[in-house]
């Protein structure tokens, strides 16, 4: 897993270039948001169970057919698996928030996920919807905690959604 700094330096080192103004700006932005990134990760960690549970509750209110017979969250086992997956997405998103890099998502969450979801017949749209609900909850909590620019929160959640959405193409 790499963070923004190691990824950027690795890319420049591979091509044998010095850091240019674009690289310096990218580093400046990463370090400027560092305290807020750590604050958001700590907030997610302290509230993870509540975030996952409330996001699941909201998702099932918006898409109640998931809980009905034949739905992907029908039965206690499937319901628990859905909430477990939402918690995974949340936890790994918190890692990516701190790193400022999506590598951890590819390495730990998304590799093999396509095949697993396809083989299990997991519906993609509700999965994406649940991830977006969690993203909004985290952004709202960050705003309440005084984080003025929470745009960095979008990156990992949106990355997961884009990658998962490609499943149903």
At how many degrees (to 10) do helices 113-120 and 154-165 cross? 50
Spatial contact of 55 and 130, defined as CB atoms under 8 Å apart: yes
Question: How do the domains of the chain map onto residue ranges?
Answer: 34-168
What is the structure's pLDDT at 166? 66
Is 72 labelled a binding residue?
yes
Is 82 labelled a binding residue?
yes
**Backbone phi, psi, residue 106, to 5°:** -70, -45
Model's pTM, two decimal places? Answer: 0.90
CATH match for 34-168 among 1.10.490.20, 3.40.50.620, 3.30.428.10, 3.40.50.1820: 1.10.490.20
Is 77 labelled a binding residue?
yes
pLDDT in tens, 55-77: 999 999 999 999 999 999 999 99
């Amino acid at each position: 897993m790499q963070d923004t700094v190691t990824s950027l330096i690795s890319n420049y080192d591979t091509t044998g270039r010095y850091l240019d103004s674009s690289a310096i700006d990218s580093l400046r932005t990463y370090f400027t948001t560092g305290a807020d990134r750590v604050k958001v990760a700590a907030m997610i960690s302290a509230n993870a169970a509540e975030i996952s549970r409330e996001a699941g509750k909201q998702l099932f209110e918006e898409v109640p057919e998931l809980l009905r017979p034949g739905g992907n969250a029908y039965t206690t086992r499937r319901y628990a698996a859905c909430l477990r997956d939402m918690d995974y997405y949340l936890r790994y998103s918190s890692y990516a928030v701190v790193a400022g890099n999506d590598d951890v998502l590819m390495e730990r969450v998304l590799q093999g996920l396509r095949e697993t979801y396809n083989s299990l017949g997991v519906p993609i749209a509700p999965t994406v919807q649940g991830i977006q609900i969690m993203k909004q909850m985290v952004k709202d909590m960050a705003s309440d905690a005084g984080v003025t620019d929470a745009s960095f929160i979008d990156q990992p959640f949106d990355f997961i959604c884009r990658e998962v959405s490609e499943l149903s193409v």
